[in-house]
Structure 1
Amino acid sequence: MNALFRNRSAAPSSRPAAPGHEEGGREWQEARDRSELAALREMVPPPAAPRLSPTRRAELEAHLMREADDSAATSDPAKSSTFRAAAGRPSAFGWLTPGRSMSLGAAAAVVAATVAAFAFTGSSGQTAVAAPAPLRVEGSRATVPLATVAKRAAALADSPGDALRGTHRREWALGMWDDGKHKPEQMPVIESRERFNADGSGEVQDIEDGQVVRRTHLPAGSWEKLAEFRSAPPTTVPGLADYLAKDNPDTRGSAYWTMNSVEALLRDWTPGPAQTAAIDGLLAEQSGLNAIGPVKDRAGRRGQAYAVDFKGTVRWTIILDEHTGRILGTELSSIKTDPKMQLKPGDVEQYDTYLD
């Protein structure tokens, strides 16, 4: 799942409805939405479908983006049936900010791409899995303050090791519809290792049961097409804050959106010790990011969990190695009952486990 989950959002257009449809705008838009929804669903293959190459996935992403942009651009927010995603939930276009909405056609592209991301990257040997249980705090170990972990990471900032383009991660997420009619889709756990060179060429390794089952070589320039954060992350806290704010100004003064941007960054880069120290230092400055306690991550490693809630709806959690500050994983979970998404408190919506 290389380029489909990115920190993008779509907003409704203020353009008027199509000529001739001012009076019957709702009926016309609903008919168009139904047609688009059916067409987009046909684009999503079953979970056992053959895997697409990263290049083909990037082409598909561009196509879906165009479909959604066209749909949003021709929608009348005042008259059309709209879809409003809960802020902070993952979609093919990243995280929808509060108050932003899309037409149902654009929303269909979001959901279709979300489901497709997993269907395309799952091999015939991978099947849907049950949703994971919430992280369990281990009462036998002490909680370590985030500021302490950040200081330990800062002490190791001069250790050898540069930030690497690409990641080795294990990831899982729910495919969710926001219509109250569809239960969340259970998706396969995906593991991949990506590494890119200075010229933008690279290799993607698909991993199953600890073994590389497929290698895909990408040509020069691929990094520039696939990465959201193309330049290396800064190694100072102020520099990193500015770096993230260029992509998402909402990170200024917001622990939640800072966490969101850090998660997006970790999809492109494996931080070295200096970048790890900057990330931990920036997180330690965020009010509202609270210690949850000692946990084991999805790979069975011991860590310390810290979380921030967003408007009583969702919770971002980050798991750090308490000795080095290394980021072990990030998780998004529901903290309230959501009838439309068919979620209840504690339901895990997404997790990423960083392995290298």
Structure 2
Amino acid sequence: MNALFRHRSATATPSSRPAAEDRAELDALREMVPSPGAPRLSPDRHARLEARLMNAVDDTATASGTVKPAKSPSAVGRPSGFGRLTTGRSMSLGVAAAVVAATVAGFAVTGSSGQKAVAAPAPLKVESSRATVPLATVAKRATALAGSDGAARRGTHRREWAMGLWDDGKHEPEQVPVTESRDRYNADGSGEAQDIEDGRVVHRTHLPTGSWEKSASYVNTPPTTVEGLADYLAKENPDTRGSAYWTVDSLEALLREWTPGPAQTAAIDGLLAEQPGLRAIGPVRDRAGRQGQAYAADFKGTVRWTIILDEHTGRVLGTELSSIRTDPKMRLEPGDVEQYDAYLD
């Protein structure tokens, strides 16, 4: 029975080794996880914990000689919505995905802050009273503002939600809390991660010198040209070349680490406008209640990335991953939202 936490999921293959060995590795992985009574993990610690777990799984599998060749994300039948920690990783341990998913979902659902799980949000609703703005128009407006004051900043302020999914066809999707976090980094790689509830900072985590370089996938400042940004994203995921879906996927990962300035925003919108597979959905209100324009790209008729832009400035307001067909194993129906991120400043 494998659990897949959609926005940080792993692809697992069955283990053919004795159950006792799997149990021993399972116990070893669990020892690495803080007890349920520990303070709720900040998003930054949350990501680093999973990376640590996944690396331990890889190290164990390598030692036993069971690692299989890695696949590119596009080779997987149903892609991860957020694959930066485990991009292209194919694991041989059947228990690994269950451990990581249970760990991550467990902190999200039962954190000591007392937050309760929430129902899945409804799909974005197109507001017919407002006009659809072509992506090319939004990109031109962003380009006109590219010289405005404001540089890209390390770290983000975002609100996020994700669904815990099981791939055994027996469990209903697990609804997890909406969380809000803010993290900022200094030039030396130090910083602070904050958990926010009802507009108040409820938990702070100091991040020592060098933390940025150790945790970020996109360490260098994002480029300010369309061509430069395309190359920048392709270094992390070559599948962005010629794919609207994987371009949005990579931008979602980037926006978990950087808050773009006006020049980067213009490059992002210009790159999106060049994607033939990205189509206008129409005017919507995002998960923070802001007016925006939604554009979407599909992956093999299974899932859809939607990106929401401020039609006046081109700023990215949010990204959403949703199902576009019935999936009995995942207990999903068309339109089911699997995750979203709202970028707040």
Q: TM > 0.5 between the two?
A: yes
User: Hey, what's the Cα distance between the residues in 2 that align with 1:189 and 1:241?
Assistant: 31
Other-structure match for 1:20: none
Displacement after TM superposition at 1:62 (Å): 4.3
Give the alignment partner of residue 97 of structure 2, picking from 107, 123, 129: 107
User: What do residues 158-187 of structure 1 show as CA deviations (whole Å, max 9, x unaligned)?
Assistant: 000000000000000011221212221111
Query: Residue 191 in 1 paired to residue 180 in 2?
Result: yes
Give the alignment partner of residue 204 of structure 1, picking from 182, 185, 193: 193
SS of 1:176's equivalent in the other structure is strand
Give the alignment partner of residue 239 of structure 2, picking from 240, 244, 250: 250
Would the aligned equivalents of 2:84 and 2:253 in 1 still touch at CA under 8 Å? Answer: no
Query: Residue 214 in 1 paired to residue 203 in 2?
Result: yes
Displacement after TM superposition at 1:137 (Å): 0.5
Give the alignment partner of residue 267 of structure 2, picking from 274, 278, 285: 278
Q: Residues 7 and 134 of structure 1: is their aligned pair in 2 closer, same or farther, counting only changes over 3 Å?
A: closer
Query: Residue 241 in 1 paired to residue 230 in 2?
Result: yes
Give the alignment partner of residue 108 of structure 2, picking from 115, 118, 138: 118
**Percent of counterpart pairs with the same letter?**
69
Residue 275 of structure 2 aligns to which amino acid in structure 1?
A: Q
Displacement after TM superposition at 1:237 (Å): 0.1
Query: Residue 173 in 1 paired to residue 179 in 2?
Result: no
**Of 35-44 and 326-335, the range deviating more from structure 2:** 35-44
Give the alignment partner of residue 218 of structure 2, picking from 229, 232, 251: 229
- Mapping of 1:60-139 within 5 angstroms? 60-70=49-59, 72-73=61-62, 74=64, 75=66, 86-90=77-81, 94=85, 102-116=92-106, 118-119=108-109, 122-139=111-128
User: Hey, what's the Cα distance between the residues in 2 that align with 1:343 and 1:210?
Assistant: 32
Displacement after TM superposition at 1:65 (Å): 1.6
SS of 2:318's equivalent in the other structure is strand
User: Hey, what's the Cα distance between the residues in 2 that align with 1:38 and 1:185?
Assistant: 24
Residue 210 of structure 1 aligns to which amino acid in structure 2?
A: G
Q: Residues 102 and 58 of structure 1: is their aligned pair in 2 closer, same or farther, counting only changes over 3 Å?
A: same
Residue 277 of structure 2 aligns to which amino acid in structure 1?
A: G
Query: Residue 332 in 1 paired to residue 321 in 2?
Result: yes
User: Hey, what's the Cα distance between the residues in 2 that align with 1:348 and 1:307?
Assistant: 13
Q: Residues 38 and 128 of structure 1: is their aligned pair in 2 closer, same or farther, counting only changes over 3 Å?
A: farther
Q: TM-score, normalised by structure 2?
A: 0.85
Unaligned segments of structure 2, at least 5 residues: 69-74
Displacement after TM superposition at 1:34 (Å): 6.1
User: Hey, what's the Cα distance between the residues in 2 that align with 1:142 and 1:163?
Assistant: 30
Other-structure match for 2:294: 305
Q: Residues 113 and 231 of structure 1: is their aligned pair in 2 closer, same or farther, counting only changes over 3 Å?
A: farther
User: What do residues 205-235 of structure 1 show as CA deviations (whole Å, max 9, x unaligned)?
Assistant: 2110111122222211111112111110000
User: Hey, what's the Cα distance between the residues in 1 that align with 2:169 and 2:9?
Assistant: 24
Give the alignment partner of residue 263 of structure 1, picking from 252, 255, 261: 252
User: Hey, what's the Cα distance between the residues in 2 that align with 1:206 and 1:89?
Assistant: 25
Number of residue equivalences: 334
User: Hey, what's the Cα distance between the residues in 2 that align with 1:304 and 1:163?
Assistant: 22
Residue 241 of structure 2 aligns to which amino acid in structure 1?
A: R
Query: Residue 323 in 1 paired to residue 323 in 2?
Result: no
SS of 2:165's equivalent in the other structure is coil
